[in-house]
Structure 1
Amino acid sequence: MARRTKEEALETRSQLLDAAERVFSDKGVTNTSLNEIAENAGLTRGAIYWHFRNKMDLIDALMERVRLPLEDMREQAEAMVPDDLLGQIRLNAIAVLRQTVRDPHHRAIATIILQKCEYVDDVLPLKQRHLESRNECATEVEQRFQEAIAAGVLPANCNARLATMALFSYVDGLVYNWLLEPEYFDLDADAEKLVDLFFEGLRRQPV
């Protein structure tokens, strides 16, 4: 009985998260209430407040659901090319692009963050958490770029901070444009080519 109750609670939580993805993607974060999410999930208001204290608590859970698979892919990249710093960054960038296409949860979060979120009122904490997550990842990538420059893999005049922000902007831009019109280009099939274009430009910086 206890196991079934725990499984039912996890199933209810998953239903609420799936409903939140749908409603946030459709109406945006600011214009959506927790009650609407509960209704979309076919559950009661009490059910959503049992699992989530407020909207930010729910959004945190949504982001955590996609963060863990990305961390796994980061570890896989390090294992696949342990001595290739640029190769690790490259594989991670490709993984982010392909996850947007292949994983509906990742795609939903990308849609919400890039297209359906106004950083106002009770959603302002989301901006801070998004920045914290981005900056944590950026610090790691910048360090690897610095090590690649020191090792002579990249030109000595390459700026690691600028390279990092250029890469993040490039990947975000590809995701944003694909979400606008998925039929315009094949993000999944061309992920490697698109990422390699960036790194080819980085290696060919003029002295």
Structure 2
Amino acid sequence: MRRTKEASWETRNQILDAAEHVFLERGVAATTLAQVASSAHVSRGAIYWHFENKSDLFSSMVERIMLPTESFVASIERVCESDPLGRMRAVLIASLRDAACNPRTWRVLNVIFTKCELTDDSGAMLLRCRTAAVELRARLKVALHEAMLKGQLPSALDVEYASTLLQALWAGVLRESLLDSSVIELDRDAERIVETWLDVLRHSHACLTAWHALRQDVAAHLSHA
């Protein structure tokens, strides 16, 4: 019985491994279960034994990885220490490099962002991504606030804006590297990229609360002129 369960699990993982490669090559919508079965060297019946349909197969494939956003959230929880900005810098660099150096993560993210059409079947995945994104912004705000208290960032930093900006920059670099890894090599460039982001937070007047308030005042003045 134990060997039977192990063999069944091995077959399931074999199918999921094949799905990663076939979805990446053909796109999710254009891929058939017969093509996945052929790549996995199993029968279509074996696929239906483990998965209800292609949507279930896709969801199970995504569930095998921790999304970079989720990894980031888990790591940045421990940012409240003597060097919060240094810790955040290390987490940012590690998150970029992990996406580049972990083959499974890279393949699945590539399928999600470049080979997956948004349909009703994508609902669970999108909810997972959005939930992680909301949690990440909350964690970033805490980390940035800690860095401000330690004097590592300007005391007038607009934390709400800075956390949103940092998350957008991070997600954008990940997406661009998936689209064309020759433009951005995450393993090579991660440290330089993160230092650029942190320099923006340290030195850009546009990241300060006063700058935002001034813009609002000017806009209000112009609207009444």
Shorter chain as denominator, the TM-score bin is 0.7 to 0.9
- Report the counterpart of residue 202 of structure 1 in structure 2: 201
Q: Distance in 1 between matches of 2:181 and 2:70?
A: 25
- For residues 40-71 of structure 1, give each alpha carbon's deviation from its aligned partner in whole angstroms, at most 9, with x where no partner exists: 21212232233233444333333332218986
Taking structure 1 as reference, are residues 88 and 75 closer, same or farther at Cα in structure 2, changes over 3 Å only?
farther
User: Does the 8 A contact of 1:56 with 1:126 survive in 2?
Assistant: no
Alpha carbons 2:176, 2:184 under 8 Å: kept: no
Deviation at 1:78, TM superposition (A): 6.7
Counterpart of 2:66, as a letter, is R
Output the TM-score relative to the length of structure 2: 0.76
**Structure 1's 45 and 103: CA in aligned 2 closer, same or farther, altered over 3 A?**
same
- The residue that corresponds to 1:20 in the other structure is 19
Using the size of structure 1 for normalisation, the TM-score is: 0.81
Give the letter aligned to residue 180 of structure 1.
L
Q: CA RMSD in A?
A: 3.0
State the SS of the aligned residue for 1:38. helix
Q: Deviations for 1:166-198, whole angstroms, at most 9, x for unmatched residues?
A: 222222222222233323343212211111110
**Counterparts of 2:123 and 2:73 in 1: how far apart (Å)?**
29
Structure 1 position 7, deviation (Å)? 2.1
- CA distance in 2: counterparts of 1:56 and 1:143, whole angstroms: 37
Seen in structure 2, the aligned counterparts of structure 1 residues 8 and 175 have a Cα distance that, compared at 3 Å, is same
The structure with the larger Rg is: 2
Structure 2 residue runs without a partner (length 5+):
209-225
Residues 63, 142 of structure 1: alpha-carbon distance in 2 compared, 3 angstrom cutoff:
farther
Report what 2:155 is aligned to: 156
Aligned equivalents of 2:91, 2:56: Cα separation in 1: 27
Gaps of 5+ in 1: none
**Superposition deviation, residue 30 in structure 1:** 2.8
Asked if the contact 1:56–1:125 (Cα under 8 Å) also holds between the matched residues in 2, the reply is: no
Q: Distance in 2 between matches of 1:88 and 1:32?
A: 42
1:190 is paired with a residue whose SS is helix
Amino acid at match of 1:197: T
Matched, 1:141 2:140: yes
2:183 is aligned with 1:171: no
Partner residue, 1:192: 191
Return closer, same or farther for 1:50/1:162 CA change in 2, 3 Å cut-off: farther
